[in-house]
Amino acid sequence: MSNEHSAQYDKDTIAIISAIEFEMSAFRFMLDREHSRLPTVQGDRNSYIPGKLNSHNVVLAYLPDNQGKGTAAIIATNLGRTFRF
């Protein structure tokens, strides 16, 4: 990850992990505003939707086409590598 993009990853303060894409869609509608997508980080297969909820910068995290507890663990692991909470 380049220094240019690392500051963008540092702006998010809350992560919402969804193991099912349908749940992620419900959270997405709760956002006050969506931010532009961030560049993909090598080795991280998660999909992220950054946004604003009230006064908080949040990121919605999900792994497309997979669901369940194991998927939630993978999402959390990759999230910790990519974002600096």
Per-residue pLDDT of the chain (85 residues; tens, 9 = 90+): 433 334 466 665 789 988 777 888 899 999 999 998 888 888 888 888 999 999 888 999 887 777 777 888 888 888 888 887 6
Number of domains, the chain: 1
User: Which domain range does residue 54 map to?
Assistant: 3-82
pTM above the 0.85 mark?
A: no
CB contact burial 7-38 (16+ within 10 A = b; e otherwise): eebeebeebbbbbeeeebeebeeebeeebeeb
Handedness of CA 19, 21, 26, 28 (dihedral sign): positive
